[in-house]
Chains A and B, each alone.
Chain A
Amino acid sequence: MRNLVLKLHIYAGLLTFAQLMLYGVAGLVASAQTAAERPKIPRTIRHIPFTVTASATDQQVADDVYRALRLPLTRPMPGWFLRRTPEHDLLLDFYNINGIWRVVVLERESRLRIEEIRNSLGLFLGDVHAITLSDREAPRLVRVWAYYNEFAMWCLLAFCCSGVYLWLTAQARSWWAWASLATATVSFAALWMAFR
């Protein structure tokens, strides 16, 4: 039995190695962040011609922009997400896993202003680690990653169980491992209670 659990522990670990490393990196990136807000400095700004249909609503304009630009891994803009700039131009933030395409519809000038805001590699990895199956309308590539993330998530929980089993059935049950577990459990419980 122990040998079988050990094999499964090893194989599942190898099959989810990249995801587990990603979770570690994501935690370190989150630890290194200096504020809740992310920097939103455009990397590039460009303008392209675009004519707004005179009778169109904001939602229709947003849909037209979405179809015209075909920005990768984005999705149509929901109505509740439509905003206006202080100059009253329609502002459309198309999010994808790498950042934001901020599109301002300059109706009077018959063109679009497109700002490309790219997340750092660390933020990208942080976002990738958080992709789940709950977003059923996510682009296909993102969904594929979500399935692997789901697998890794269950494996992580399984590692906790199999790891404890392997430890408890090992010949040498080191006291310092118990001490380490006790320290972590007491710390966790103390912080939990401090927040409640």
Chain B
Amino acid sequence: MYKIVRNVHLLLASFSLPFLIMYGLSAVQMSHSTWFQLKPAVDERQISLTAGQSDGRAVARAIMDRDQTVKGEITNVQPNDAGIALRIVVPGTVHDVRYERASGLATVKTSVAGTMGMLNRLHHWAGFWHEPVSMKMWAVAVAVVSAALLLLGASGIYMWFTRRPERRIGLALLAINVVFAVTLLTLLRTSGP
């Protein structure tokens, strides 16, 4: 039994490793933002589209057809008097689009995050509701790694418990952690609303 659990622990850990490093490093960045420079590279250009369009998704699709480097999920569609403002987003890259209905001119301002900025965005990216296939695949990876983390904990607990020399001190450490966490979580949760 021990050998099976150890192999499962190793299999899950080896699969999760790149993702856990990404989560760990980006957590350090979020906790100590002053240690890192997150200024994105910004570029602005104009694209000519058909004038008079009033549908945000049609504008976004037209831009993506004209410029292959623009890709992603359409968000923040906001019609205004002059035209439409919207965003096309993938983790780490944001295309801010301002479309002028009268001229048909779309101004695309692209912000590309650096490595740490990209890690930060990937840390926050999850959920199967995103439309692009790449984002759905990322969501699968996040769900698998999250489940793996739970199983890593469970298998780790089993393996520790089978080691007699570490049982007593381990029990004390586990008790400290669980009592502390449950107490603090309860206090936080019961603080309302």
Partner-B contacts on A (CB < 8 A) = 7, 10-11, 13-28, 30-36, 43, 71-73, 96-101, 116-118, 121, 124, 128, 130, 132-134, 141-142, 144-145, 148-150, 153-154, 156-157, 159-160, 163-164, 167, 174, 176-178, 180-181, 183-185, 187-188, 191-192, 194-196
Q: Is the interface of B mostly helix, strand, loop or mixed?
A: helix
Return A74 CB to nearest CB of chain B, in Å. 9
A34–B127 CB distance below 8 A: yes
A176–B11 CB distance below 8 A: yes
* 19 extra interface residue pairs, beta carbon distance < 8 Å, beyond A27-B146, A156-B20, A185-B17: A14-B157, A15-B173, A18-B178, A24-B148, A25-B150, A30-B142, A30-B146, A31-B127, A34-B127, A36-B127, A96-B193, A99-B193, A100-B193, A128-B185, A133-B31, A156-B24, A177-B10, A184-B14, A191-B138
Known: A18-B177, A24-B149, A184-B18. A33 touches B126 (CB 8 A): yes
Known: A18-B177, A27-B149, A132-B30. A180 touches B182 (CB 8 A): no
B188–A73 CB distance below 8 A: yes
* Complex partner residue of B153 from A20, A28, A73, A101, CB under 8 angstroms: A20
CA–CA, A97 to B7, complex, Å? 38
A-B contact count (CB 8 A): 214
Closest to A150 in B: B31
B27–A153 CB distance below 8 A: yes
* A-B pairs, 8 with minimum CB distance: A27-B146, A18-B181, A24-B149, A116-B193, A30-B126, A157-B24, A132-B31, A31-B143
CA–CA, A194 to B90, complex, Å? 9
Q: What sequence of 0s and 1s flags, for each residue 122-153 of chain B, a beta carbon within 8 Å of any chain A beta carbon?
A: 10001111000010011101110111111011
What chain A residues lie within 8 Å of B82 (beta carbons)? none
Return B186 CB to nearest CB of chain A, in Å. 11
B143–A17 CB distance below 8 A: no
Q: What sequence of 0s and 1s flags, for each residue 147-191 of chain B, a beta carbon within 8 Å of any chain A beta carbon?
A: 111101100110110010010011001101110111011011101
